Each structure stands twice: as structure tokens, then as C-alpha cells.
Amino acid sequence: MAVGIVGWGAYIPRYRIKTREIAEAWGDDALRIRDMYLVEEKAVGYIDEDPVTMAVEASRDALTRAGIAPSEVGAVFAGTESKPYAVKPISSILIDALNLKRQVYSVDMEFACKAGSDAIVNLMGLVKSGLIKYGIAVGTDSSQGEPGEHLEYTVGTGAVAYIIGSTNLVAEIKHTYPFASDTPDFWRRDGSPYPVHGEGFTGEPAYFRHIIGAAKGLMEELGMKPNDFDYAIFHQPNARFPVRVAQMLGFPLEKVKPGIVVDLIGNTYNASALLGLAKVLEEAKPGSRILVVTFGSGAGSNAFYIETTDLLPSRVKLARTVGEMLEDKVYIDYSLYLKYRRIIRMIHG
């Protein structure tokens, strides 16, 4: 049975802040910051946006593109690391916001930035086993960056949703491959407002080791080489890492570039690589072969081999595209950023 993507939807908030604006507030060298991360600007959710609201927006568009009735959905899984409620699911809010039936498997998943892709893998299993017809996998985050700390330069806001099924596929997911280990490169303790990371330690032992492990493992199992793919999309904590990991794996720049969005919206955590995939789906021709490798700190990667079908091009314009949302922007300054992200310590509200 072929399983894969029936529909997809993305959501990027309208507001943006330039990394230069943040650097000026802290007296950092804006050019050096830009050179480190290659992130020009990042998306900022408005004061009333959170991973729940963005998940709803992306999922609605995914349902529209899939052209299926909400009642046909049998599972909804939300991958996030910035839940507004520590206890109380996003997925249950999605059930009512999307008007799904009550008989639906639902859970929120957490594995840093990887959980959204785990939602896809789990739904593939449910579809293959015949337990459900369609499932919704969501990656959504408006994660935290401590003011004045370097995460602030890259942490973005966004969501993406995929309808997974076995009929009317726009792209078949032909293979998956996981790679995970206990590697404490980045974490947020329970009750703590901001994540902590190991700077350089997030690179070689974490990001690069796991992504290369998953990508190589997938290609070895399939007997495929970088040349066999039209696109390669990697998790994007900044714009340097995915380009470098592509080089290490032997992918030319032109195969990586179409799937990079971090330079314009920042790292959207659980949406990151999957938002890159949404952007690629908007331009890919039928029969395109795509490698997607996600990464979550702590640490692990999922690699996917995806091949687009003839149905893909006709679905692109049915809902808001990543391309449109990247253009639809209003710049804000640092003070509005603090207000919108609710970073100013407030007694209430």
C-alpha cells in the first residue's frame, strides 16, 4: 500500500523583525550575527497567536488542499515543544476547531523539533494498518528565545500540517529512517521559560551526527545516492547548518536552496524542515524525488524519501502558499516584538 501526503497547509505569521534590529538593542555586531546564522529576519506571531492558533490555520489549509471532509480524519497528532498548556492537548482543540468527529486518535508529541515528523511516521503506520483512513500531522511552534541570548536571533514562529493517507496522494512517502541517541545539546527544564543550549555542542555531536546518520541510513537501505534526488531538505536552526550538512552528504547547493525558509522566518522548530517541504511542494514537478531529514535536540532525526505525483500541481493554489506568506509581511521594532511575544514580564494578562 502506498502511503503519503494527501494535502498540506502552512502558516507563517504576518509580523517580522530584522535580526539587525535585535542586534542593535543588545549592542551586538549585526553583520557578525548575520554571518553566523544567515538569518535576515524572522516571523513573529501577534500577541494572540500561539502554537494552537497556528496549528488550526495550517490544518484548515491542509484539509482544503486534500479536498477531504473533516469527518474522514481518524487521527490528529500535534508535534510541538512550546505548548501553551503544559497539561492539556493542542490536538483536542484541533478536533473542535476543525470539526473532526469524536472518534479520532489524538495526542500531542514532544521530541524537541522532531515531533512533527514523528507524527507523520506514526500516522503512516495507522494508515498502513488500516486503523484510519486519513490522519493530520502538525508541526507547530512559537518557541522561546531568552532576550539577549543568541537563540533570540533565530527563533521564529510557524506551523505546518500534512494530511497522511493512502489515496489521492500528492506525494508518496516511500521510505523512512530514524536515528536517535541521548545527546543533551539543547533542552528546556520543566517550568523554565527559556531553553538552554550547548552552543558548539549543538553542531557536530548533535545536528550533524544525527542528520547524517539518518540520511545515510536511508540512502543505504534504498541503494540511493544524492544524485538520485531532486531536492534535499534539512532541519533549519539557521541557514548555515542545512547548507553545510548538504555539502557533507554531497548534495549541491541548488538542491538544498528551494527548501530553505529559515533565512526569512527564523527557526520554526517543529515546522522547520516540514515548512521547507511545503515550499518545495509548491514548485516541484510530478515525479520529483525529495529527501527530508528532520532533527530534534536531545537528539534524533527522521529521514524521509518522498516522491511527488501527478496530482500535486493542481493542489498548490487551493490554499495560502508558503511563497505568498513569505512575501506578506509587516516589520516591527524590538519593543513591539517584546510586547507581541509577551516577553515583558506582566503581573497579569
Partner 1 sequence: MVDQNLSVPKYWRKIPQYYRLTAVKCRKCGRVYFPPRAVCECGSREFDEYELPRRGKLIEYTVLRSVTSDFEKQRPLAFGIADLGGVRVFGQLVDCPNPDKLGEGAEVEVVFRRVKEDSDYGIIYYGFKLRPVKGCW
SS3 state of residue 259:
helix
Within 86-115, which residues bind partner 1 (CB under 8 A)?
Answer: 93, 96-97, 99
Show the cell assigned to 97.
476547531
- 211 with 245: CB under 8 angstroms? yes
C-alpha 278 chain-centroid distance: 9
> Whole-number minimum distance, CB 90 to partner 1, in Å?
11
**By the rule CB under 8 A, 223 interacts with partner 1:** no
Considering only residues 50, 81, 141, 307, which one is a binding residue for partner 1 as defined by CB under 8 A? 50
- 139 with 115: CB under 8 angstroms? yes
d(CA 166, CA 59): 18
Determine which one of 41, 49, 57, 81 is catalytic: 81
CB of 48 or CB of 199, closer to partner 1:
48
CB of 254 or CB of 327, closer to partner 1:
327
Q: CA torsion angle for 160, 161, 167, 169 (degrees, to 10)?
A: 0
d(CA 341, CA 335): 10
**By the rule CB under 8 A, 333 interacts with partner 1:** no
**By the rule CB under 8 A, 48 interacts with partner 1:** yes
> Whole-number minimum distance, CB 228 to partner 1, in Å?
40
Q: Is 348 one of the annotated active-site residues of the chain?
A: no
CB of 41 or CB of 57, closer to partner 1:
57
> Whole-number minimum distance, CB 221 to partner 1, in Å?
40
- 136 with 160: CB under 8 angstroms? no
Q: Is 235 one of the annotated active-site residues of the chain?
A: yes
**By the rule CB under 8 A, 136 interacts with partner 1:** no
H or E segment and range at residue 73 = strand 73-79
Q: Is 57 one of the annotated active-site residues of the chain?
A: no
H or E segment and range at residue 256 = helix 253-256
Question: So which residues are the catalytic ones?
Answer: 81, 113, 235
**Where on the chain is the footprint of partner 1 (CB under 8 A)?**
13-15, 46-50, 52-53, 56-57, 60, 84-85, 93, 96-97, 99, 328, 330, 339, 342, 346, 348-349
